[in-house]
Amino acid sequence: MTENNLAIIVLAAGQGTRMKSALPKVLHPIAGRPLVGHVLTTASRLGADHIEVVVRHERDRVVEVLSKQYPEAVIVDQDEIPGTGRAVQVAVDALPSDFGGDVLVLSGDVPLLEADTLSALVDAHRSAAASATVLSALLDDPTGYGRVIRDDSGTVARIVEQKDATADEAAVTEINSGVYVFRAASLRTHLTKIDQNNAQGELYLTDVIGLLREAQETVAAEVATDTAATFGVNDRVQLAEAGRVLNDRIVRHWQRAGVTVVDPATTWIDDDAKLAPDVTLFPNTYIAGATVVESGAVIGPDTSLLDCEVGEGAVIRRSDATLAVIGAGATVGPFAYIRPGTTLGAGGKIGTFVETKNSQIGDGSKVPHLSYIGDATIGERVNLGAGAITANYDDIVKHRTEIGDEVHTGSHNVFVAPVRIGDGAKTGAGAVVRKDVPAGALALSVAPQRNIEGWVEKNRAGTGAAEAASRAGKAANSEAAE
Ligand code: UD1
Ligand code: CA
């Protein structure tokens, strides 16, 4: 193997105690992707020969996510010996024994580093012919990080953990980002020499740096220019901070690509979302998952879209949609709840206080007000009156409602599925449609109205209603007398 070979080790075995969570730390998401997923996405761009992820805590849960989303990563199990040093030992042991290139160590909880920064780090390491190169950063508040201790000549001497630092060392503001490049041969040799004599009783990877220096090998540190990118997530405060930094980056990316973001501070866009030029996002909008929004669409305010496709020029206001397809020029909301499996055709409408699920609504068709449409197939240019309800569930199974083209239904209809309404048919107000309606028919299911004259005055004497009725009766009589 050539000296230019690169292996990447991603550390993801730690407990993440400070998260105080049942979910392993590296699986906590920002921008719709677990922390370790961001690290692996970046790692996969570096053209490495090997990518390994070290796991232990909640191993099966972490592996389940990794094997689905990052199948190219090789899983390495850490044993019961704790510490980043141990994690790298087992990962190095899992590399081919003749691997003679460089090893890039990344932390599963340092999610914001970009591929450019890392390839520059590897390049600097190689051109300096260093045995190890640490990515460091200068922070106003270095609390919690390992400190990079330099000797009088300014060369990196060692790294000391916060918990092991003297007051002088703790005052150093250059921190270890937890990202390093090592020459494989040097790493192998010195990893065998670290011990657990420290405040945390762990094998520290950071101790390898001091050992290399003692052995007169070249150790370098590259100070990151973008300090935010070296940000490590240990607790939920840092999780939110990292999420904010990443979101700012994503929002700016789409703004530069031609998207109008009215209020970047309240607009959240996941990493996998795609937005066309001339999309407009109003405040409090969350574009989540693999949502794709075509040009000219207007989303928000107060809207969440998860894994949706939104066509050109569609308008979605104050609504929540998941796994839905909204056609070009369609309008949604305000206050629509669009559940998985909804497709709305071009120019269609899902209006105010409407819930839909697993339903196909054809081109130009409208469900404008106060409706529940579940398990329905609706043709083109249909108008459902206010208060349309598909009764899709008989307590045992779900049934479909099928509505043809050009159907107009009266207000407050119930469609008791399974039921079909033929093309061009109409229904009366208040109809409970239990039987199929043939094409072109008018379906009425409400009994003729019967008025019982004088009922209120007789049965509710002395009430305001009876008095009003009596006044109305007198007025009608005197009009008749004139
Ligand atoms: C580590 C560094 C510290 C650095 C900081 C940067 C050490 C000893 N310290 O501290 O110098 O400033 O990262 O963010 O390396 N992990 C394992 N196996 C373990 C323990 C941890 O794989 O036995 C993984 C964790 O899942 C995590 C990463 O290693 O992804 C770092 O572990 P963590 O415990 O967060 O180390 P820090 O205290 O942050
Ligand atoms: Ca950490």
List the chain pLDDT tens, one digit each, 482 residues. Answer: 345 799 999 999 998 999 999 999 999 999 999 999 999 999 999 999 999 999 999 999 999 999 999 999 999 999 999 999 999 999 999 999 999 999 999 999 999 999 999 999 999 999 999 999 999 999 999 999 999 999 999 999 999 999 999 999 999 999 999 999 999 999 999 999 999 999 999 999 999 999 999 999 999 999 999 999 999 999 999 999 999 999 999 999 999 999 999 999 999 999 999 999 999 999 999 999 999 999 999 999 999 999 999 999 999 999 999 999 999 999 999 999 999 999 999 999 999 999 999 999 999 999 999 999 999 999 999 999 999 999 998 888 999 999 999 999 999 999 999 999 999 999 999 999 999 999 999 999 988 889 999 999 999 999 999 999 999 999 988 888 87
Ligand nearest to the CA of 162: 1
Distance 107 CA to ligand 1 centre (A): 7
Ligand nearest to the CA of 89: 1
Distance 231 CA to ligand 1 centre (A): 12
Q: Indicate which atom in ligand 1 lies nearest the CA of residue 179.
A: 6
Distance 31 CA to ligand 1 centre (A): 22
Q: Indicate which atom in ligand 1 lies nearest the CA of residue 145.
A: 12
User: Ligand 1: which of 9, 17, 18, 84 to mutate, judged by most atoms within 8 Å of the beta carbon?
Assistant: 84
Distance 178 CA to ligand 2 centre (A): 8
How far is it, in rounded angstroms, from Cα 253 to Cα 282?
17
Q: Whose CA is nearest to atom 32 of ligand 1?
A: 14
Instruction: With CA atoms as reference, report the closest residue to 146 among 172, 182, 127.
Output: 172
Which residues contact residue 453 at a Cβ distance below 8 angstroms, ignoring those fewer than 6 apart? none
Strands, E assignment, 45-155: 50-55, 74-77, 102-107, 132-138, 147-150
Distance 4 CA to ligand 1 centre (A): 27
- If one counts every other C-beta atom within 10 angstroms of the C-beta of residue 64, the result is 12
How far is it, in rounded angstroms, from Cα 113 to Cα 225?
11
- AA identity, residue 469: A
- AA identity, residue 150: R
Q: Whose CA is nearest to atom 31 of ligand 1?
A: 107
- If one counts every other C-beta atom within 10 angstroms of the C-beta of residue 80, the result is 6
By the CB criterion, residues less than 5 angstroms from ion ligand 2 are 109, 232, 234
Beta carbons of 176 and 147 less than 8 angstroms apart: yes
Distance 349 CA to ligand 2 centre (A): 48
Q: Indicate which atom in ligand 1 lies nearest the CA of residue 12.
A: 26
Q: Indicate which atom in ligand 1 lies nearest the CA of residue 203.
A: 8
Which residues contact residue 283 at a Cβ distance below 8 angstroms, ignoring those fewer than 6 apart? 262, 263, 266, 267, 300, 301, 302
Which residues contact residue 265 at a Cβ distance below 8 angstroms, ignoring those fewer than 6 apart? none
In order of 60, 350, 412, 417, 423, the CA distances from 402 in angstroms are: 44, 17, 17, 9, 10
How far is it, in rounded angstroms, from Cα 262 to Cα 433?
45
Question: What radius of gyration do the chain's Cα atoms show?
Answer: 33
Amino acid 394: pLDDT: 84
- Cα within 13 Å of Cα(397), Cβ side: 4
Distance 84 CA to ligand 1 centre (A): 6
Amino acid 21: pLDDT: 96
Amino acid 1: pLDDT: 39
Active-site residue, 412 included: no
In order of 145, 350, 382, the CA distances from 424 in angstroms are: 70, 20, 9
142-145 LR contacts (CB < 8 Å, sep 24+): 142/170, 142/172, 142/173, 142/174, 142/175, 144/232, 144/234, 145/175, 145/176, 145/177, 145/232
Amino acid 3: pLDDT: 52
Which run of H or of E encompasses 369?
A: strand 366-374
Ligand nearest to the CA of 35: 1
Which residues contact residue 16 at a Cβ distance below 8 angstroms, ignoring those fewer than 6 apart? 24, 25, 26, 57, 109, 234
Question: Looking at residue 79, what DSSP letter applies?
Answer: -
- pTM of the predicted protein model: 0.92
Instruction: With CA atoms as reference, report the closest residue to 234 among 111, 407, 387, 94.
Output: 111
Which residues contact residue 59 at a Cβ distance below 8 angstroms, ignoring those fewer than 6 apart? 13, 77
Q: Whose CA is nearest to atom 3 of ligand 1?
A: 146
Q: Whose CA is nearest to atom 5 of ligand 1?
A: 178
Give phi and psi for 343, each to the nearest 5: -125, 130
Q: Indicate which atom in ligand 1 lies nearest the CA of residue 82.
A: 23
Q: Which of 38, 50, 125, 369 is catalytic?
A: 369
Q: Indicate which atom in ligand 1 lies nearest the CA of residue 55.
A: 22
Pocket residues: Cβ below 6 A from ligand 1 = 11-14, 26, 54, 78, 82-84, 86-87, 107-110, 145-146, 159, 161, 175-178, 204-206, 232, 234
User: Ligand 1: which of 35, 62, 107 to mutate, judged by most atoms within 8 Å of the beta carbon?
Assistant: 107
Ligand nearest to the CA of 26: 1
Amino acid 395: pLDDT: 84
Which residues contact residue 1 at a Cβ distance below 8 angstroms, ignoring those fewer than 6 apart? 49, 96, 98, 99, 100, 101
